[in-house]
Amino acid sequence: MSSAVFLVLIVLIPAVMLAVPWWALIAAPTERSGLLYRVGTAAFVAGYICLPAALILGHGPPQIDSAAIVGDVLLGVVWVLFSWSVIGLVVRGGLRMIGARGVRASRVVALAVVVVSVVLTGYGVYEARRVPQVRTVDVAIPRLAPGLDGLRVVVLTDTHFAALDREGWSRRVVEEVNAQRPDIVGLAGDLVDGSVDERRHQVAPLAGVRAPLGRFYITGNHEYLGDAQSWLDYMTSIGWQPLHNAHRTVERDGDRLTVAGIDDPTGDDVPGHGPDLAAALAGTDRGLPVVLFAHQPSQVADSSAAGVELQISGHTHGGQIWPFHYLVRLDQPVVSGLSSHANGTQLYTSRGTGYWGPPMRVFAPSEITVLVLHPQK
């Protein structure tokens, strides 16, 4: 990363994200005078210093878990305050246009922004920390044989086991997955942030997932922030089958289906890694439909060209904290749900099972997805 880009990310973006709520909540309502103005300004300056420092110490080379937790919580709170302060300033402009006094309008808007932000922050923490809701989606697959009608594919993705210990949450997710009576379970990347030594106790409960036709795992971009191969090896050790540019053929009632997986594109920088769809599909019976796990929805372009029937992805988190999904959409073709693409390829994009960074989800609930496959009529 260039020094200029680093400067923008660490200095300018936090400045903007804090300056807007400072103006909406402190400066304008107080007319920049008085005790509240001085205390509030000091608090925002402290936040401006603490936010990048905690993120660097937590997610940079020091990898200090306590700093990561502080930085992540601050980031989530600041994003909510920033988003609703922008809305508040627009509302304030409207109130002033219809004759409301400037200071009165500013104070009403500031109070509303604070109340909404507090409520949404509390809701967001609850939404992120609870066991995800089950989302069941029927998917019609061309050439799917009758013996596979009703096949249940349970999808987990973006669990992001990290600094905040979620071992108990992990166990409850496994119980919910098993309650869905899956035939296949796939974990579509971004399993963890951190090393095997640091996070294995959170991931270990996944050994209890039951799926008679296979438990499959692919890498996401976050595995490549650390040692992806170690996580591939660990998942193998607890009974999962990594699809490292590879495929397996599954069979039920005499009928078969190809399940394939490819690496995340960020693996291109790691020797022996990086997506290779041709290798993943090499040796497959092309008369069989293909279900492909690929972490990023943007990989669907290659899947469509290869004639893959269904790609399963995550990565987007559904935006995680509204209105971040608008920015996600600039990078990915789909934010969530089932979509159709060229050559009849379908893409299912999960909002994710966990969360990254801020322990919050606002208007983007997590999910455990059950894809029920049916022959296309």
Count of beta carbons in the 10 Å neighbourhood of residue 13: 13
Q: Give the pLDDT of the chain (377 residues) as one tens digit per residue.
A: 455 666 677 788 999 999 999 999 999 999 999 999 999 999 999 999 999 999 999 998 899 999 999 999 999 999 999 999 999 999 999 988 887 777 889 999 999 999 999 999 999 999 999 999 999 999 999 999 999 999 999 999 999 999 999 999 999 999 999 999 999 999 999 999 999 999 999 999 999 999 999 999 999 999 999 999 999 999 999 999 999 999 999 999 999 999 999 999 999 999 999 999 999 999 999 999 999 999 999 999 999 999 999 999 999 999 999 999 999 999 999 999 999 999 999 999 999 999 999 999 999 999 999 999 999 98
Structure tokens at 252: 């039920």
Rounded to two decimals, the pTM is 0.95
Distance from first CA to last CA of the chain, Å, rounded?
Answer: 50
Q: Which CATH superfamily is domain 133-375 in?
A: Metallo-dependent phosphatases (3.60.21.10)
Using alpha carbons, select from 297, 259, 292, 262 the residue that is nearest to residue 276: 262
Looking at residue 42, its pLDDT comes to: 98
Count of beta carbons in the 10 Å neighbourhood of residue 164: 17
Looking at residue 132, its pLDDT comes to: 98
Burial 223-232 (b: 16+ CB within 10 A, else e): bbebebbebb
Q: Where in the chain is the domain with CATH 3.60.21.10?
A: 133-375
